[in-house]
Amino acid sequence: MLGDAFDDIGVPYHLTTREFNDLVARHLRTDGLYLANVIDSVHFDSLRSELRTLRLTFPYVALMAQRGDWPPPGDQRGTYVLVAAKRAPPRALPVLPARQVDEFVAHGHSVVLTDDHAPVDQLLAPVFVQKLHIR
């Protein structure tokens, strides 16, 4: 299953929540993968929050980044693919080492995104400012 409902830096917040992830998990086959396209930059609070939230639903969560985009450079917007599954895939995927992702999530601001609290616009505010070249 592929989640790519984003428009530039417009993110439909209801597709980032724990409740949505739980719904995806209920419909995902045991050997299936859920891939979600994510953009972020500056502080990467949105990316951290989406990783943290996915981990509450899925036992396997990984991150794909373009070569040269890790660690993420804050001065340019990056596109990342989150990979979530009920179990680790049988074949290796081109994902970042789990240790690097764990450190990334642990050493920055993140929130659990829920239907009742999904401040996606606030988490992405620095990205909007960056895009507008307002500093």
Q: How confident is the model at residue 32 (pLDDT cuts 50, 70, 90)?
A: very high
Enumerate residues 6+ apart whose C-beta is below 8 A from 18: 53, 56, 57, 112, 113, 114, 115
The model carries a pTM of 0.90
- Give me the pLDDT at residue 2, please: 65
In the structure, how many helices (H) and strands (E) does the chain have? 5, 4
Q: State residue 69's pLDDT score.
A: 74
Model confidence at 9, pLDDT cuts 50, 70, 90, reads low
> What are the structural domains of the chain?
2-130 (3.40.50.150)
Dist. CA 69–CA 66, nearest whole Å: 5
Predicted confidence at residue 112, as pLDDT, reads 98
